[in-house]
Amino acid sequence: MSDKRQKKSAARLYAVQALFQMEASGQTAEAVETEFEDFRFGTEFFEGEEMAEGDSKLFRKLVGDAVNQQAKIDQMTDRALVEKWPINRIDPTLRALFRAAGAELVEGNTPPKVVIVEFVDIAKAFFPEGREPKFVNAVLDHMAREAKPEAF
């Protein structure tokens, strides 16, 4: 994987983590963005393991767009979910993932299929043994078709 692509993938993962942290702690986007850039991007993590360097511009865009477009993204997600499981009832990690992916689908220029693959990979990292990655794939496919119908 190229360095540029790896930084973008890391930025997407960090955006999901940041959105989760914002919801769990009530912190502002600005506070969480600064914390991530200062203490996570490319820093030593645990026993010599390093966190990947992230694309700061993409990270800030995803977090900002997810916050600014949250109502629209949540409505798109709700339409993709079964009626008895609105977004406020799903796992908070998945909620953060759908918001970050939704931000990139609604506001970004990345091809929808790339967005789906990237965020399904993130779901696999969080839920390696579960069915969540398949669920994420289905929901994001529905959201992508709504956000960018011309791409399909």
Per DSSP, the three-state class of 41 is coil
At 44, the pLDDT band (50, 70, 90 cuts) reads: low
Residue carrying structure tokens 């931000």: 103
Using one digit for the tens of pLDDT, what is the confidence trace for 77-87? Answer: 999 997 777 88
Model confidence, pTM: 0.92
pLDDT, position 94? 97
At 47, the pLDDT band (50, 70, 90 cuts) reads: low
Partners of residue 44 on adjacent β-strands: 50
Question: Number of structural domains, the chain?
Answer: 1
Give the structural domain span for 35.
Answer: 3-151
Span 115-122, mean pLDDT? 97
**What CATH number should be reported for the domain holding residue 11?**
1.10.940.10
> Rounded to 5 degrees, what angle do the CA atoms 118, 6, 52 make?
110
User: What's the CA gap between 51 and 35, in Å, rounded?
Assistant: 14
